[in-house]
Amino acid sequence: MAPDRREAFLGFLALADRLKHTLRAAHTGDRRENSAEHAWHVALMAVTLAEEVSPRPDLGHVLSMIAIHDVVEIEAGDTFAFDDAGLLTQLERERAAAERLFGLLPAEVGRRLRDSWEEFEAQETPEARFAMGCDRLQGFLQQVECGAPAWKRIGLTKTRSLVRMQPAIDLGAPFAPMIEALYERAIGQGLLVP
């Protein structure tokens, strides 16, 4: 491996480690979850649920998307799903971060990761939709499990949350029944306004 290629990989991978310090709105125990923990949990969901989907997605491709889907948050920050002001600039911030971060890698590798990130964002392939379903399910489950302080703070209603969750519900099994069960728990525990 040429020294400049080696240094590009090492630099990107060292920088990617900062995802462990990008905090999310959800809590885990007595602290906020970070984006690296989120990505691991989304990957675990994909591995666990892949055989529940028909046709079965290409799991390697799904895991590649999941591994990089939030890397842009190192620079763009995590945008809470119900932060209306943050959502207005999210795409612009994330695209700029993608350009810079993936640009650190050798061109063909950076392009491959950028393409994977864009595929996840576009939601046009079965693998991207499955990865999105796992991503949405993880965020929803994490909020229910942690007592949803972020939801309570804004008085989140089921109707408003459905705007975010409906694309995952529309995928059908296994997402729809699991999300519906989580809605029942959330309403029963007073985590969402009915």
pLDDT in tens, 71-124: 999 999 999 999 999 999 999 999 999 999 999 999 999 999 999 999 999 999
The per-type count for the chain, helices as H runs and strands as E runs, is: 10, 2
Task: Classify residue 17 by burial, with Cβ atoms within 10 Å: 0-12, 13-18, 19+.
Answer: exposed
Query: Taking 90 as the threshold, does the pLDDT of residue 27 lie above it?
Result: no
Q: What percent of the chain has pLDDT over 70?
A: 100
- Distance, CA of 58 to CA of 70 (rounded, Å): 20
Task: Classify residue 170 by burial, with Cβ atoms within 10 Å: 0-12, 13-18, 19+.
Answer: exposed
pLDDT value of residue 19:
97
pLDDT value of residue 25:
87
pLDDT value of residue 118:
98
Q: What is the pTM of this model?
A: 0.95
| pLDDT tens figures, 53-82 | 999 999 999 999 999 999 999 999 999 999
- Distance, CA of 64 to CA of 145 (rounded, Å): 26
Query: Taking 90 as the threshold, does the pLDDT of residue 194 lie above it?
Result: no
| pLDDT tens figures, 124-177 | 999 999 999 999 999 999 999 999 999 999 999 999 999 999 999 999 999 999
Domain residue ranges in the chain: 3-188
For the domain spanning 3-188, the CATH number is 1.10.3210.10
Q: Is 65 helix (H, G, I), strand (E, B) or coil?
A: helix
Q: Which two tokens mark 26?
A: 């959800």
Sequence-ordered list of residues with C-beta below 8 angstroms from that of 126, at least 6 positions apart, any chain: 55, 57
